[in-house]
Structure 1
Amino acid sequence: MIESLLYPFIIVAGALQALGNSMNAQLRGKLVNPWLAATVSFLPIVFVFTTLFLTMPTPLPTLDSLGKMPWYAPLGGVAGAVAVFGGLAFIDKVGAGPFNGLTLTANILTSLAMDALGLFGLQAAGFKPLPWLGGLLMAVGVVFIARSGGKKDKDESSSTTGKLLYPFIIVAGMLMAVGVVWNAQLRGALLNPWLAATVSFLPVVFVFALIFLLRPFPLPKREDIAGVRWWMPLAGITGAVAVFGGLLFVDKVGAGAFNGLLITANLLTSVALDHFGWLGMKQVKAGPARLFGAAVMVAGIVLISVF
């Protein structure tokens, strides 16, 4: 009962995650250089979490808790950042619906595998047919969403070139699921959630900033920078809400329920983004095929979350 009180926050986090993908795509378009755009997107996150940690520095980790921390736990932010960078670079090429559908399906199937096999310290739950049936339904839903996105213009969002990006997007979704579990373990070791979030995102900013310094071109022109809207650099923060939610709540509500709620909100928001053309996205009307795909994915999420 107490866990269910966290559901509204998780749903909002999922909606913000979908918004963040589209905002990142707009930021990348204005700043031209994807590494610069990624650095700008993640810097405010580190600033916010560092400020919160300095304001609320306790509790602090003990030597015992640090000693039990897996070596990969601090890399949860890096794993999740792959999906953020994928959205920043590719969402305008494949569309918000197909991009989020592919990443979320890969996310939930990876979560099911981790739960079933007990990977990365999770308790092995064994094979449960209904959740896996839900994962299959999600995959079917993605096919309908992706195919409906390609009918508008074969030379644009879901063209053959765009579909070549699908394997990368799937891997990004898998890493997103892994990153949630790693972040939860990092939070358990560091005790302070603000410190854990700071540690999670610091390597991400370092990697993107380093790559930008090594590959600083192309650079945005003055007119490009003038076109940056005030909300574009906040894309990373909107996505960070979902990361922080996983860091705090995945061990309380379970990976299936957490990802199910997050994905439901993300999916419905991404379809709405395409349908209405919000945040500068290319408008793709939600026709019968896309709505059917969304409904099938939601049915799959229910099977995963409930059973």
Structure 2
Amino acid sequence: MAPIVAIGLHLVALLGGAAFVLQQAANANLRGALGSPFWAGLTNFLAGGLALSLVLIAIREPIPSLQVVTRAPWFAWFGGCLGALYIIGIILLLPRLGAATVVALFMVGQILTSLAFDHFGLLGAPIREVGLPRLIGASLMVAGVGLICVF
């Protein structure tokens, strides 16, 4: 991969992280306005579904056939349910713990789970051995999150 492409992809990932925090703050505010984390979560998914629908229309993406849809593994269908759990969890936790603590704790959960997925190739993830450098990096992240959560 060309260095400029790699830099661009890393910047997109950083922007995704910023969007994640903005989304969580927006959802927490929506919860306050609607009085329910569940209505806020549903609104989040409906708005996201509408946005994706508009993108699909704009790029003229064809609807997958039933044959294509049925080839997905059984666990692929749980993504939306896990996304709902994720969104509701953050909506409930952010007002109580603060944005930095919630995002940091979720990030550590993501890092540790990702390392397991990489190392063991879980659910079809490509195997990438977890060596000492990655373990040290994860340990430093856990320590950093500990500092964020304590102070």
TM-score scaled by structure 2? 0.87
Partner of 2:22: 178
Residues 226 and 200 (structure 1 numbering): CA distance in 2 closer, same or farther, change over 3 Å?
A: closer
Q: Are 2:146 and 1:278 aligned?
A: no
Q: CA deviation at 1:192?
A: 2.2
Q: CA deviation at 1:225?
A: 3.2
Choose from 284, 288, 294 the match for 2:138: 294
Partner of 1:141: none
Q: CA deviation at 1:185?
A: 0.9
| Separation (CA, whole Å) in 2 of partners of 1:277 and 1:162 | 24
TM-score scaled by structure 1? 0.45
Residues 167 and 195 (structure 1 numbering): CA distance in 2 closer, same or farther, change over 3 Å?
A: same
Choose from 97, 111, 115 the match for 1:267: 111
Residues 219 and 186 (structure 1 numbering): CA distance in 2 closer, same or farther, change over 3 Å?
A: closer
Matches for 1:129-168 after TM superposition, within 5 Å: 160=3, 161-168=5-12
Choose from 193, 199, 213 the match for 2:57: 213
Partner of 1:117: none
Structure 2 unmatched ranges of 5 or more: none
Q: Are 2:57 and 1:252 aligned?
A: no
Q: CA deviation at 1:222?
A: 6.6
Equivalent AA in structure 1 for residue 115 of structure 2? V
| Separation (CA, whole Å) in 2 of partners of 1:219 and 1:295 | 44
- Identical columns (%): 32
Partner of 1:11: none
Q: Which protein, 1 or 2, shows the higher relative CO under an 8 Å CA cutoff with sep ≥ 6? A: 1
| Separation (CA, whole Å) in 2 of partners of 1:291 and 1:186 | 38
Cα displacement string for residues 140-169 of structure 1 (whole angstroms, at most 9, x for unaligned residues): xxxxxxxxxxxxxxx7xxx75555311111
Q: What is the aligned length?
A: 150
Please give the root-mean-square deviation of Cα atoms over the aligned residues, in Å: 2.1
| Separation (CA, whole Å) in 2 of partners of 1:244 and 1:221 | 32
Q: Are 2:64 and 1:225 aligned?
A: no
Q: Are 2:86 and 1:242 aligned?
A: yes
Q: Are 2:37 and 1:193 aligned?
A: yes
Cα displacement string for residues 168-190 of structure 1 (whole angstroms, at most 9, x for unaligned residues): 11100011011111111110111
| Separation (CA, whole Å) in 1 of partners of 2:46 and 2:67 | 30
| Separation (CA, whole Å) in 2 of partners of 1:293 and 1:275 | 15
Matches for 1:21-60 after TM superposition, within 5 Å: none
Tell me the secondary structure at the aligned position of residue 130 of structure 2.
coil
| Separation (CA, whole Å) in 1 of partners of 2:66 and 2:42 | 32
Cα displacement string for residues 117-147 of structure 1 (whole angstroms, at most 9, x for unaligned residues): xxxxxxxxxxxxxxxxxxxxxxxxxxxxxxx
